[in-house]
Amino acid sequence: MTTATTTTVRMTGISKSFLGVPVLQGVDLELRGGEVHAVMGENGAGKSTLLKVLAGVHRPDGGTIEVDGDPVSFAGPTDAQRAGIAIIHQEFTLLPHRSVAENVFLGREPVRRMQVDRRRMVADTRELLDWLGEDGIDPTDAVSSLSVAQRQVVEIVKALSTNARVLGMDEPTAALADHEVELLYDLVRRLRERGIAILYVSHRMREVFDLSDRITVLKDGRFVTCAPTGELTSEALVRHMVGRDLGEYYPDRAAPADLGPVRLALRGAGNDRVRDLDIEVRAGEIVGLAGLQGSGRSAVARAVFGVEPFTRGVLEVDGTPRQVTRPRTAVRLGIALVTEDRKGDGLALRQSVRDNTLLVRRAALRGARSRARSDLPALLDLVTVVSRGEHQEVRFLSGGNQQKVVLAKWLAVEPKVLIVDEPTRGIDVGAKRAVHELLRDLARRGVAVLMISSELPELIGMSDRILVMHDGALAGELPAGASEGAVMALATGHGIGEVA
Amino acid sequence: MSTVHENIAPARRTAARPAVRRRLTPVVIVYLALAALLVVGSVLVGMRGEVLLDQAGILNILTRATALGVVAIGQTMVILTGSLDLSVAYLIGLTSLIAAETMAGREGMIVPGLLLALAVAAGVGLVNGLVITVLRANAFIATLGVALILRGYLEHTYTGPAGDVPRGFQHLGYDRIGPVPVAALLMLAVVALSWWYLSRTRPGYHMYAVGGDVEVARLSGVPTRRVIVTAHVLCSVAAGLTGVYLASRLGSGAPYVGTDAGYDLESIAAVVLGGTLLAGGRGGVVGTLGGVLILATLDTIFDDLEVDPFFKDVVRGIVLVTAVALYARRMMADRARGRLA
């Protein structure tokens, strides 16, 4: 008998409310050593809260937690760590100005002769990094110099360094590119082999089926079901999560008649991130921009929008060459950018739905047009925002609704060119579909859409054409419905010919 | 970071930054600026046939730097922790009075006077810290409020200097070895001790963590409230030390000794000039010492040149704004590099 049969953690009847709003109601969960236990549910179903209760971040209002049969009560994250439970949070929990080693041992710095034992911190961190095969990261590097994927690795190292027996992961792949996801899978499997219990929260169906041994489904804070992964189909799982069928469905692509004139054109454009870009996006089409993390996808978006402008080549809007050196110019020209960092760049979190929605209009347009808000309800309806009214602060909305507010913000100025960077990152299935339909609808009404996504099925399902970037330049163009293999081949620097 | 690993790092690093950019940290910039200022100042003062860095000049710079230096070190700790202390100036006045009145000219009361002044300072720091952490008041407002309370007490109780510092304690203010005041050496010892505390001990690490991101620190098990309260207590004790030192120089306590020199804003200026982020999480006392020395040197040069005091303030303002703008540019460049994707 292996350790896989011993129960490590049992949560029974867990309840938790925030400001009187129940988030968890009597949830049960059993987690065994050596298993990957997936928790699924739409945003707002209570997955993250459940994880945070387990991690000692939130105290449950009711219910019990047992570790190896002994009831425990965590006053804070440190107590949970001591019981062998560590969590990788959805938001990165690293200090950018501090080194990798300092982050890994934050709050648990080894002390020797009254001083922090920096040598040991660095050595232990290096050992863990080597064990993961991550020798590209040095323990003395500042976290601010690392890529998103490398920061993820640091998060995992941080959790492992507590000698955790139970590891909670909240949407660990949300910020990763496809090739990095594979590395994470490997890592998770290795952790499982070592008898670690993994609580895996994710929206991505494929991941959950690839990785997990059992799946628990939550809906609206309540336990729905728990079953071995092998006994569930993806259709059944979706039914449990949303109470309705939602297959892999994308709206119809553009017909040739839908295509209008070229809205956005780049001719030989470049800066110190990207080079030799020749791109045309027509009214009525959605052009996908694929590439690995660091290939320059987002740099193109930032350059077009004037954040880090092009220094070479020509940028044309509706056939006229333009100098876009600041976002304000871009907005005036009818270019909109939905950034990948919704909370950091996209929203004023403490302001209301209304103020966020009208932010760009007030900033960019003059006079009466900027003050008009008669069409605000129509705008919010259009993007189907669910809120407790237009005065609610956006930080209280779910991820999906926040993203819809970002979209509404741009629709308020009726853009001609819409660039969306990871438009559905970290939002639930229903909201995702709403965003997809909205993007297609906008294209149909004559907007030129440039869509960046790390999620290949989404990119392929949505795009009328796919441009693939590699190492700061365009590696090639693929037609609608190209295979994931073809995209990855170009993205990793191989020609199309080699794939076929 | 540590030089030990610098040797291994370059080979492992996938994308090493140009070495020059990496080494040009705010601390390096501030000391380069100090060196440049000393050269330019020496030339300007030299044109009047005088010498900037003669015995009197060095003494002048170090004496100015001593009082400001100790407050600014305390201020560095609270700012690193993401907080701020506007009450230090009045606290300096209060502690100078407590020390001088307790001593009342008696040599035997030196130690009790010292201890009482520092204990009161620690108490004020404790109040600052608790108001900020437990009552969750914004640090700016909380310490401004405490400053007003202290001012009210001082104005109600005192009309001018009070108390009497015995001869024996005045040595602290006036003894020197060559051109170097003993008090300046003690100030350097405080710098060294705080440097060690911030960069080598766990509580020091936690100050950086709390200033960098309170929530991240909390989730990592850092006792964030305790860290903030500790920073405020240490800051106030530093202000208390300054008060005691100024009492020893004046021979008595004075209610306005802290506010006349504007130690509240001046100490914040020195910290920021020294490259510490006003938002917290990045910086240190070594930079602050550089900032203090720059401000003290500027003052000495202006005195030697007999510059109009209003013009002095204009130049100090320009120096401060230039420094902050320079650091901000570098931060932007760092940030841009971090998000290459």
Check CB contact under 8 Å for A89 and B219: yes
Task: Inform me whether the pLDDT recorded for B39 exceeds 90.
Answer: yes
Question: Do A237 and A303 sit in the same domain of this protein?
Answer: no
pLDDT at B263 (0 to 100): 94
Question: Do A335 and A483 sit in the same domain of this protein?
Answer: yes
pLDDT at A373 (0 to 100): 57
Q: CB-CB: which of B205, B218, B282 is closest to A116?
A: B205
Range B198-219 average pLDDT: 93
- CB contacts of A106 in chain B (<8 Å) are 205, 209, 216-217, 220-222
Range of the domain at B93: 18-330
Residue A500 lies in a domain: no
Question: Do A215 and A319 sit in the same domain of this protein?
Answer: no
Among A3-12, A81-90, A441-450, which is the least confidently predicted range?
A3-12
Question: Do A105 and A152 sit in the same domain of this protein?
Answer: yes
Range A145-168 average pLDDT: 83
Range B79-106 average pLDDT: 96
Q: A252: which DSSP letter? A: P
More confident residue, B307 or B134: B134
Q: In A19-151, where do the E strands start and end?
A: 21-32, 36-40, 62-67, 70-72, 85-88, 111-112, 115-116
Q: CB-CB: which of B1, B219, B220 is closest to A140?
A: B1
Structure tokens at A8: 């490590």
pLDDT at B199 (0 to 100): 93
Q: What are phi and psi of A364, to 5 degrees?
A: -100, -25
| A498 Ramachandran zone, left/alpha/beta (phi>0; psi -120 to 50) | alpha
| Element spanning A166, H or E | strand A166-170
Picking from A242, A277, A301, the residue at the C-terminal end of a domain is A242
Range of the domain at A277: 256-491
CB of B22 less than 8 A from some CB of A: no
CB of A313 less than 8 A from some CB of B: no
Each residue's pLDDT tens digit, A432-489? 888 999 999 899 989 999 999 987 888 989 999 999 998 889 999 999 888 877 887 7
Rounded Cα distance, A368 and B299, in Å:
54
Range B61-78 average pLDDT: 96
Residue A496 lies in a domain: no
CB of A102 less than 8 A from some CB of B: yes
Residue A499 lies in a domain: no
Q: In chain B, where do the E strands start and end?
A: 176-177, 180-181
CB of B7 less than 8 A from some CB of A: no
Check CB contact under 8 Å for A97 and B1: no
Structure tokens at A24: 């968890």
Residues B6, A104 contacting (CB under 8 angstroms):
no
Q: B71: which DSSP letter? A: H
| CB neighbour class for A285 (10 Å; exposed up to 12, middle 13-18, buried from 19) | buried
CB of B17 less than 8 A from some CB of A: yes
Question: Do A125 and A272 sit in the same domain of this protein?
Answer: no
Check CB contact under 8 Å for B218 and A77: yes
Picking from A191, A212, A242, the residue at the C-terminal end of a domain is A242
Contacting residues for A464 by C-beta, under 8 A, at least 6 apart: A253, A254, A285, A286, A287, A480
More confident residue, A284 or A23: A284
More confident residue, B331 or A411: A411
Give the side-chain half-sphere CA count within 13 A for B185.
Answer: 10
CB of A307 less than 8 A from some CB of B: no
Rounded Cα distance, A89 and A199, in Å:
12
- CB contacts of B202 in chain A (<8 Å) are 109, 111, 116
Residue A149 lies in a domain: yes
Residue B341 lies in a domain: no
3-state secondary structure of B265: helix
- Report which residue type is found at A48: S
pLDDT at A240 (0 to 100): 81
How sure is the predictor about A121, in pLDDT bands with cuts at 50, 70 and 90? very high
Question: Do A238 and A262 sit in the same domain of this protein?
Answer: no
- Report which residue type is found at B158: Y
Question: Do A286 and A201 sit in the same domain of this protein?
Answer: no
Question: Do A161 and A265 sit in the same domain of this protein?
Answer: no
More confident residue, A299 or A491: A299
Residue B200 lies in a domain: yes
CB of B205 less than 8 A from some CB of A: yes
Q: CB-CB: which of B6, B12, B212 is closest to A135?
A: B12
pLDDT at A430 (0 to 100): 78
Range A321-348 average pLDDT: 89
Residue A26 lies in a domain: yes
Check CB contact under 8 Å for A95 and B341: no
Q: Report the chain B residue with the minimal C-alpha distance to residue A341.
A: B339
Question: Do A204 and A267 sit in the same domain of this protein?
Answer: no
Range B126-150 average pLDDT: 95
3-state secondary structure A46-63: CHHHHHHHHCCCCCCCEE
Question: Do A233 and A364 sit in the same domain of this protein?
Answer: no
- Report which residue type is found at A187: L
Range A146-174 average pLDDT: 83
Residue A249 lies in a domain: no
Residue A340 Cα, gap to closest chain B Cα (Å): 11
Check CB contact under 8 Å for B200 and A116: yes
Residues A362, A385 contacting (CB under 8 angstroms):
no
Among A82-96, A119-133, B218-232, which is the least confidently predicted range?
A82-96
Residue A248 lies in a domain: no
Q: How many folded domains does chain B comprise? A: 1
Task: Inform me whether the pLDDT recorded for B59 exceeds 70.
Answer: yes
What's CA A371's distance to the chain center, in Å? 34
Tally of residues, chain A = 500
CB of A421 less than 8 A from some CB of B: no
CB of A144 less than 8 A from some CB of B: yes
Each residue's pLDDT tens digit, A187-220? 888 888 878 899 998 867 778 888 999 999 988 7
Residue A78 Cα, gap to closest chain B Cα (Å): 5
Between the alpha carbon of residue A161 and those of residues A67, A122, A124, A133, the distances in Å are: 20, 12, 8, 16
- Report which residue type is found at A363: A
CB of B201 less than 8 A from some CB of A: yes
Residue found under tokens 């590699």: A470
3-state secondary structure of B17: coil
Check CB contact under 8 Å for A118 and B341: no
pLDDT at A6 (0 to 100): 59
CB of A298 less than 8 A from some CB of B: yes
Q: CB-CB: which of B12, B201, B281 is closest to A95?
A: B281
Express as a percent the part of chain B with pLDDT over 90. 71
Residue A103 Cα, gap to closest chain B Cα (Å): 9
| Element spanning B185, H or E | helix B182-200
Question: Do A138 and A207 sit in the same domain of this protein?
Answer: yes
Express as a percent the part of chain A with pLDDT over 70. 91
| Element spanning A473, H or E | strand A473-479
Instruction: Identify the CATH number of the domain in which residue A453 sits.
Output: 3.40.50.300
CB of B3 less than 8 A from some CB of A: no
Q: Report the chain B residue with the minimal C-alpha distance to residue A94.
A: B216
3-state secondary structure of B8: coil
Q: How many folded domains does chain A comprise? A: 2
Range A77-93 average pLDDT: 81
Each residue's pLDDT tens digit, B157-180? 999 999 999 999 999 989 988 888
Most confident of A38-47, A360-369, B172-181, B293-302: B293-302
Each residue's pLDDT tens digit, A294-331? 788 999 999 999 999 999 999 999 999 999 999 999 99
How sure is the predictor about B335, in pLDDT bands with cuts at 50, 70 and 90? low
Residue A27 Cα, gap to closest chain B Cα (Å): 23
Residue A350 lies in a domain: yes
- CB contacts of B341 in chain A (<8 Å) are 147-148, 293-294, 297-299
How sure is the predictor about B269, in pLDDT bands with cuts at 50, 70 and 90? very high
Rounded Cα distance, A418 and A411, in Å:
9
Q: Which is it for the CA torsion A107, A113, A115, A120, positive or negative?
A: negative
Structure tokens at B22: 């990496």
- CB contacts of B339 in chain A (<8 Å) are 298
